[in-house]
Amino acid sequence: MTALGKLARGVRVFACDVAQGFFEITHNGFALVGLAVVFAVVTLSARPDLRQVGETRLMSWLQARQAAAFGGVVPELDAIDRATALNPKDLPKQQAAVAYWLSKKYRVAPEPLSALVAEAYEIGGRTKMDPTLILAVMAVESGFNPFAQSPVGAQGLMQVMTGVHSDKYESFGGRLAAFDPVTNLRVGVRVLQECIQRAGSVHAGLKFYVGAAISGEDGGYVEKVLAEHARLQQVATGRNVPLPLPPAIRTLAPVQPEAKPADEEKVASVVS
């Protein structure tokens, strides 16, 4: 065999040895990784506390990475689930007309108003109460401000006396649910329904609701609600109703040195 042939044979043998060694090392490496994974799984299965710590640290690391990528703000893909909003185009024609009209009049975005309109129609159907009356009360009480509060402690869209009706919020998680728009609407409708049943008519029930059942002086509250109710009924039937100036919102009026009689009676009537 010539020297060149011996050299070629030696190169081939060397290459085969290197390839075999690389395969064995890689194979053994994968085996070690597999064993490590199996050991980790067995350990975490036997020690839930370690698994919880590991998951917490991993989640914290991922959130820190996300916050760094978004300039310090952690994104939440499920945040939209907390939003009280609907596309008005998805509503029935009648409800969409009401939502758009109220949106323009009270300068509130149509999407959250659409959710409230849809809820008012749904709960109105269950309680046999006109949904446009519910929306009219909401409009006069708070102007669709879910965080409104009166000097005597009435809170939210329907201005429910949270301290008096705290029991009605228990099934919704507690008193702070008064500031959830849909929850406040549901509790407010329940209170309004009780007032109407107690008084025997819508007109008298509204006086009970505002706390003017004793003196009868409601500062024009009942007339404002009924007027808004009439306008909303017309809007719901497809009529072109002009947009008047927004009525004075009772809960946002300047606080007087002394409580108004209607506010004093509201506390008295809901307590009795």
Read off the pLDDT of residues 25-77 as tens digits, 9 standing for 90 and up: 555 555 555 655 655 666 656 667 766 766 677 666 666 665 566 566 666 67
The last residue of a domain, from among 54, 75, 96? 75
Rounded Cα distance between 6 and 262, Å, is: 113
User: 214 and 105 in one domain?
Assistant: yes
Number of domain units in the chain: 2
Query: How does residue 185 score in pLDDT terms, banded at 50, 70 and 90?
Result: very high
Residues 141 and 54 in one domain: no
Residue-level pLDDT at 37: 61
Under the banding of pLDDT at 50, 70 and 90, the label for residue 254 is: very low
Q: How far apart are CA 7 and CA 235, in angstroms?
A: 98
User: CA nearest 234: which of 135, 137, 90, 132?
Assistant: 132
Domain for residue 81, yes or no?
Answer: no
Q: What is the pLDDT of residue 26?
A: 53
Query: Which structural domain, as residue segments, surrounds residue 38?
Result: 3-75
In the predicted model, is pLDDT for residue 86 greater than 90?
Answer: yes
**Per-residue confidence (pLDDT) for residue 212, from 0 to 100:** 82
pLDDT of residue 237 exceeding 90, the answer is yes
The CATH number that applies at residue 185 is 1.10.530
